[in-house]
Amino acid sequence: MRNEQINLAKQFIKDADAVLITAGAGMGVDSGLPDFRGNEGFWREYPAIQHLGLDFEDIANPKWFTVNPPLAWAFYGHRLNLYRDTTPHDGFKMLLDLVKEKNDDYFIVTSNVDGQFQKAGFDEDKIFEVHGSIHHFQCSEKDCKNEIWEADKDSIEIDMDKFEAQTIPLCKKCGDIARPNILMFGDWDWNGDRSDRQEERFYDWFEQLKIDGKKLAIIEIGAGTAIPTIRNYGEMFAKKSKKFKLIRINPRDFYVSPYIGFSIVYGGLNGLQKVLDKKYK
């Protein structure tokens, strides 16, 4: 059954005119990035936060930029430094080669804020980051959140023993504390303008696909059920046309209705190797 699903997915991708890549946190695992799946995994990455009695939802909250900026920037600064230092795994190259074969007729929809697709060479104008990007900042002050700017290239210094940021990014306009342009939990002050523009470009592309009657392969990698944004997108898009199919690559939450797609019971890199039939040395 598993091989049958792989073969069906492989053939559909081969015959497709265009590719939609939808990616969750599992896409970065093979690059060595944490996916924060469950408290145990999160606390293993950030034991200092466990000592404070906080979990991911607690710390991923904009209030810390007001009540404790050194703690907020220790968490987000460490992640920013980590993502900058990470090399995208070979699965990104496989996908990049695939979309080139499809005459660059593709788009990416991702809940990841790590910027790994841009780093791997994908077109910035063909990426929709639904939760924003850690590589862009905005002001944390409610009345000064209209601007979004690219993060400075300098690393944010962090005292890991105290888990405190030694350098705090500031708003270029008012000088108040800056924050990542990321949608956090309980976040009413996120500036979604950049993501809104990305979303508009995506839907323009997607609507044209339907008009042109193209065959679309939706390749979903590492999208979990805890925050099912990406899974919901993939299933919603796959139901738009009989010419669209969802290829769901996931070692745990792999089920997809056979009416709309195929289940690939592997992690991100291994699954891509299977359905794209490629390996790099």
CB of 191 closer than 8 Å to CB of 181: yes
Q: Kindly report the pTM of this predicted structure.
A: 0.95
DSSP SS3 for 3? helix
Closest CA to 268 of 35, 62, 38: 35
In terms of CATH, what superfamily is 1-32+89-130+190-281? TPP-binding domain (3.40.50.1220)
Closest CA to 115 of 33, 175, 58: 33
| Bridge partners for 136 per DSSP | 150
Structure-token match 């409610």, residue found? 142
Q: What is the pLDDT of residue 146?
A: 84
Rounded distance between C-alpha atoms, residue 270 and residue 172, angstroms: 43
Q: What is the pLDDT of residue 211?
A: 94
Residue ranges of the chain that CATH labels 3.40.50.1220: 1-32+89-130+190-281
CB of 264 closer than 8 Å to CB of 255: no
The torsion region of residue 217 among left (phi > 0), alpha (psi -120 to 50) and beta comes to: beta
The torsion region of residue 82 among left (phi > 0), alpha (psi -120 to 50) and beta comes to: alpha
Q: What is the mean pLDDT of each run of 10 residues along the chain (281 residues)?
A: 90 97 94 78 83 91 96 95 95 97 98 97 98 96 88 87 94 93 95 97 97 97 90 95 96 93 96 87 58
Cα Rg of the chain (Å, integer): 19
- Helix (H) or strand (E) run with residue 20 in it: strand 18-23
Longest distance between any two alpha carbons in the chain, whole Å: 59
- Quote the Cα angle for 237-124-59, to 5°: 80
Q: What is the pLDDT of residue 217?
A: 98
- Helix (H) or strand (E) run with residue 109 in it: strand 106-110
Q: What is the pLDDT of residue 149?
A: 95
Rounded distance between C-alpha atoms, residue 69 and residue 169, angstroms: 10
Q: What is the pLDDT of residue 281?
A: 58
Integer CA distances (angstroms), 170 to 65, 67, 81, 258, in order: 11, 15, 17, 50
